[in-house]
């Protein structure tokens, strides 16, 4: 019910939250999200987590250059997704090599990935 408030008002939890924002939630710069949450927690009109979250959403949507920031965030997400796909392919190839299957695989079928991985995987297995 008051987890935002509990985290922001506790020195240790606040520092852990900053680290979380930096390492896990990196769609926005850490200080931006942290400052908006900090302001929302300290706003006496916000009585619970729902109020704080709604205040945070409003602040992010109405800030200057919100559209451009959103577009940049989308580009960063696409780049991050491509990096994750390459890492997934690398892991799959490592498993195939470890099992001794690389030279034995003739065809690969992938269901549900929309051909995002299979072309790169097929090319890397044949090398």
Q: Output the tens digit of pLDDT for each of the chain's 127 residues.
A: 788 899 999 999 999 988 888 777 666 778 888 899 999 999 999 999 999 999 988 988 888 887 887 788 888 888 888 888 888 888 888 888 888 877 777 777 777 776 667 777 777 766 6
Answer whether residue 74 is part of any domain: yes
Domain extent, residue 98, equals: 4-112
Burial letters for 99-111: b for 16+ Cβ neighbours within 10 Å, e otherwise?
A: eeeeeeeeeeeee
pTM of whole model > 0.75?
no
Answer whether residue 124 is part of any domain: no
Answer whether residue 75 is part of any domain: yes
Answer whether residue 52 is part of any domain: yes
Answer whether residue 127 is part of any domain: no
Task: Supply 125's token pair.
Answer: 């297995």
Answer whether residue 105 is part of any domain: yes
Answer whether residue 126 is part of any domain: no
Answer whether residue 123 is part of any domain: no
Q: How many domains does the chain have?
A: 1
């Amino acid at each position: 019910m008051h987890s935002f408030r509990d985290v922001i008002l506790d020195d240790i939890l606040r520092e852990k939250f900053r680290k979380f924002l930096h390492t896990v939630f990196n769609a926005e710069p850490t200080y931006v999200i942290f400052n908006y949450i900090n302001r929302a927690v300290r706003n006496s009109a916000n009585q619970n987590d729902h109020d704080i979250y709604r205040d945070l959403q409003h602040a992010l949507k109405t800030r200057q250059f919100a559209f451009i920031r959103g577009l940049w965030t989308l580009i960063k997400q696409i780049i991050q997704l491509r990096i994750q796909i390459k890492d997934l392919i690398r892991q799959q190839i490592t498993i195939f090599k470890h099992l001794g299957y690389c030279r034995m695989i003739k065809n690969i079928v992938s269901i549900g990935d929309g051909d995002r991985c299979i072309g790169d995987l097929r090319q890397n297995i044949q090398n």
